[in-house]
Every structure is written in structure tokens, then in C-alpha cells.
Amino acid sequence: MYILSDGIPCFAPRTAKEIAEDKYESVIDNIDFYTRLAYGELSFKVKTDSIYSRINAVLHQQMELNQDAVILDLGCGVGRTLYELSETFPNAQFIGVDYSLNMLRRAKQILLENNELQIDLSSSGLPPFKLIGKQLANVHLMQADACALPFKSNSMDVLINTFLIDRVKDVRLALVQMIYCLKPGGFFLLTSPLNFQTTENWKYGQPIILIQLLKELGIEHISFEDNITHTEVLDARGNQKHWNTLMVWGRKK
């Protein structure tokens, strides 16, 4: 069961009070900031070897093999990965899932409503930037908890999770849920700096441990790249945060 909020199906709905008290849901402090991080290189037409370009390069190779695929982008945020792939592969169906309703509202503005957005970055001393939205018929957004996904088994051809696994409450449970809904032979891609939020989850802080867990849960033919530098520019002074990021991909048995 789910409820609709601004046209977005919510399978793990939160109260207005919970959303208002969550800094992650703040439009000014977080949503606008992450919109710039995700889309700024497109807006300013700066070519970078960003983590998003790496993800898209790997996914493009897989999508060429199955252009009618059903793709689940878990932890889709403001929709950066969906933004390019969904237009490049119009016969595929893309499902973007996030726990944050406000992230999804922003993704909806960008991906579905054909808006021209003016992103206000004055709280970081940065100039605003414009982002031209799209109206993509093959993108569907929904709110859900990664540890309780509302999908049937063997229903997805491709599953992407970007900057998510170190934010979930239970790493193993979330991965079990992901792999459960992936078809046999389906493609799995995980990207994370492994910056875990709880002491318990730090047992997966070494890539080899996380990769071993993926193998135990049914992912094979695994490849990975470690220590990919993902840089976030924080403000007009040029202060930066650097993440040593892991990217792992493989297929379900």
C-alpha cells in the first residue's frame, strides 16, 4: 500500500513534522546544494571526469545489450543518473526511488515537468544557475525505504545504487532487498565512499568485505574500481570535500 504526495507514490511515508525536522529534506540547505553537485557540470558546460560520468559509461555498455530493460535507480536523489540515460534509451523503463520526498519532488521538477529551474545557491556564496528540465515518459518516481522495497522478485534488469549503501540502517538487509528484485543475470552497480553512519555498519568499511558479502548474496562476475575521487565544492571560497569512492558491478546468478 502507498499514499500519493504531489503525485509521487510513497511506500514509506513520513509525517510533515518528520520531514520538516530532517536537515536532509531542507530545500535551501540540502536539496539545492545537491542539485548543484549533481547537475552543475551540465549547467556550466564544464567537462569533468565526475563519478556520474563513470557510472554512465559503465551503464551505457550494459544498456546497449538490453535497450528494453527495466532499470531501478535506488537512492536516485535529484535524478542525475536518470537524466541522461532515460533520454538515450527511450525504450527502457526507469524507476527512481529515494527515501527523501523533497529529493523526489526536485527530481520530478527536473525529469517530468519540463521546467526551467533557477537554483538559489546564495547560502554558499555561489551564483545561481539555471537547469533546463525534461518531460520523460519512461521515468517513474517513488518514495520507499531501501530496507523494505515494494518490488516483486526477479522484476528488474538493472539495479543502480549511488551514494546509498553507507546511509541505510542495515547494509545486509538493504542488499538482500536489492538482489531479491533483480532478475537472474541482471546487472548490479553500487557506488559509495563507504562513509558509514553507524558503528555496526563500519564492518563493511573495507571494499573486500563488502564485495565478499555481495558474492554471498548472489552477485558474480564482479569488477570494481576503488579510490575514485569524488569532489564536492562547498562554497564560493572553493572549499572542498573529497570522497574516496568505490564502484562495484556484477551480475546476479
The pTM score is: 0.92
pLDDT tens-digit series, residues 89-111: 899 999 999 999 999 999 999 99
Q: Show me where the domains of the chain are located.
A: 3-252
For residue 118, which phi and psi values (nearest 5 degrees)? Answer: -110, 110
Q: What class does CATH assign to 3-252? A: alpha beta
Q: What is the 3-state secondary structure (H, E, C) of the chain?
A: CCEEECCEEECCCCCHHHHHHCHHHCHHHHHHHHHHHHHHHHHCCCCCCCHHHHHHHHHHHHHCCCCCCEEEEECCCCCHHHHHHHHHCCCCEEEEEECCHHHHHHHHHHHCCCCEEEECCHHHCCCCEEEECCCCCCEEEEECCCCCCCCCCCCEEEEEEECCCCCCCCHHHHHHHHHHHEEEEEEEEEEECCCCCCCHHHHHCCHHHHHHHHHHCCEEEEEEEEEEEEEEECCCCCCEEEEEEEEEEEEEC
Cβ pair 181, 155 in contact under 8 A: yes
| Cα-trace Rg, the chain | 17
Dist CA 21 CA 19 (whole Å): 5
CA distances from 38 to 42, 65, 70, 107, 211 (A): 9, 27, 23, 11, 26
What pLDDT, on the 0 to 100 scale, is given for residue 47?
A: 45
Give yes or no for a contact between 112 and 136, defined as CB atoms under 8 angstroms apart.
Answer: yes
CA angle, 224 then 229 then 232, to 5°: 135
pLDDT tens string for the chain (253 positions)?
A: 899 999 999 999 999 899 989 988 998 778 988 898 888 765 444 444 578 888 888 988 887 777 789 999 999 999 998 988 898 889 999 999 999 999 999 999 999 998 888 888 888 888 888 888 899 999 999 999 999 999 999 999 999 999 999 999 999 999 999 999 999 999 999 999 999 999 999 999 999 999 999 999 999 999 999 989 888 888 889 898 999 999 999 999 9
